[in-house]
Amino acid sequence: MSLEVKELVKSYGEKVVVDHLSFALKEPGVYALLGTNGAGKTTSIRMILGMLSKDGGEVLWKGEPLDTSKVNIGYLAEERGLYPKYSLMDQLLYFAKLKGVNKEEAKKRIAYWASRLEVEEYLYPKTTKGKKKEKPKTAEQLSKGNQQKIQLMSALISDPELIVFDEPLSGLDPVNTDLFKGIIREEIEKGKYLIMSSHQMATIEEFCKDITILNRGEVVLQGDLNEIKKGYGRVNLFVKCDEAFGEIVEKHGLTVISDTPDGMQLKVSGEEVAQAFLSDLLAAGKNVVRFELREPSLHEIFVEKVGGNHEEE
């Protein structure tokens, strides 16, 4: 067990913002911290990384209290931070130096990541013959997406063993989202430990094995995502027929989640009920175009757990 978070507590005055949060990364992979805005995700991450004092609990790395000055950690914060007026290269070299990477090695890694993230033009000023050398680019000259790429470079430049991504894909276009996802996948394959916080449930489902859902600082759901889904069972039924089939739905007393021209989403109590419903559809001569029985998505679980019970910041 490499990272263990035990009973973390944080309060501001009377308000408890993180209430006895515990989880562990038993093996390399991605752990998801989910929750609505203000649920306590970023506060938890800041406590784990030692930026914020804890009112209770402890964080262990390989059985010892986590000392961020000794453990190689890569961090991509929710609020991106770069010096607006300093050259990007200088900043990356500075962050690398703080992480103990020497200048030569840092330059090699910057070159690799610049090429990987397609930001070479911002890091290496053009030298056209006969023309004055271009000035190095600064953060304020970049788009938000490109700033995020530089930020990702600074998080990964030390080749960290523990990586913390707080909303890594927010604000990215689909092309860059895929680029970031590819890099996350590579880091998982390299055997890294990742903690990820995101509002994009599909991304979490794509990468994470274990999750914790926070609501107002409290843990409302925690565990292996597959097990959680299994626990719910295959109760989500999606049906589309060429003809109307409302009377059969009524006959079986099924709950309608949504009814659109693209089909009807239903909630069933079990697989047997779904089978009986399908038999009746066929017996009634309906032309069934789509019949899909599946576990609930993380999005549906999330909404069920915190929907209507969260506070917006």
CB 74 within 8 A of CB 156: yes
CB 283 within 8 A of CB 292: no
Work out whether 149 is an interface residue with another protein (CB under 8 A): no
Only segment of 24-32, 64-72, 265-273, 289-297 that touches another protein (CB under 8 A): 64-72
Q: How far is the CB of 126 from another protein (least distance, A)?
A: 20
Closer CB to another protein, residue 69 or residue 128?
69
Work out whether 50 is an interface residue with another protein (CB under 8 A): yes
Q: How far is the CB of 97 from another protein (least distance, A)?
A: 5
Question: Cα separation of 39 and 216, whole Å?
Answer: 4
Work out whether 249 is an interface residue with another protein (CB under 8 A): no
φ, ψ dihedrals at 218, nearest 5°:
-100, 150
CB 99 within 8 A of CB 92: no
Only segment of 81-89, 183-191, 207-215, 224-232 that touches another protein (CB under 8 A): 81-89
Work out whether 79 is an interface residue with another protein (CB under 8 A): yes
Say which residue the tokens 């915190």 belong to.
Answer: 306
- Sole binder of another protein in the list 24, 52, 172, 276 (CB under 8 A): 52
**How many whole angstroms from its chain centre is CA 264?**
30
- In a 3-state reduction of DSSP, which class is residue 140? helix
Closer CB to another protein, residue 82 or residue 179?
82
Work out whether 171 is an interface residue with another protein (CB under 8 A): no
Work out whether 95 is an interface residue with another protein (CB under 8 A): yes
Work out whether 97 is an interface residue with another protein (CB under 8 A): yes
Work out whether 17 is an interface residue with another protein (CB under 8 A): no
Residue 144 burial (C-beta neighbours within 10 Å; 0-12, 13-18, 19+)? exposed
Work out whether 254 is an interface residue with another protein (CB under 8 A): no
Whole-Å CA distances, 173 to 153, 178, 207: 18, 9, 19
Q: How far is the CB of 130 from another protein (least distance, A)?
A: 25
CB 82 within 8 A of CB 147: yes
Q: Report the run of H or E that residue 230 belongs to, with start and end.
A: helix 225-232
Q: Is the dihedral of CA 46, 47, 51, 55 positive or negative?
A: positive
Work out whether 83 is an interface residue with another protein (CB under 8 A): yes
- Sole binder of another protein in the list 18, 34, 40, 46 (CB under 8 A): 46
Tokens, residue 100? 């103990």
- Sole binder of another protein in the list 21, 32, 34, 82 (CB under 8 A): 82
Q: Could you list the residues that contact another protein (CB under 8 A)?
A: 12, 46-61, 65-69, 73, 75, 77, 79-86, 90, 94-95, 97-99, 154
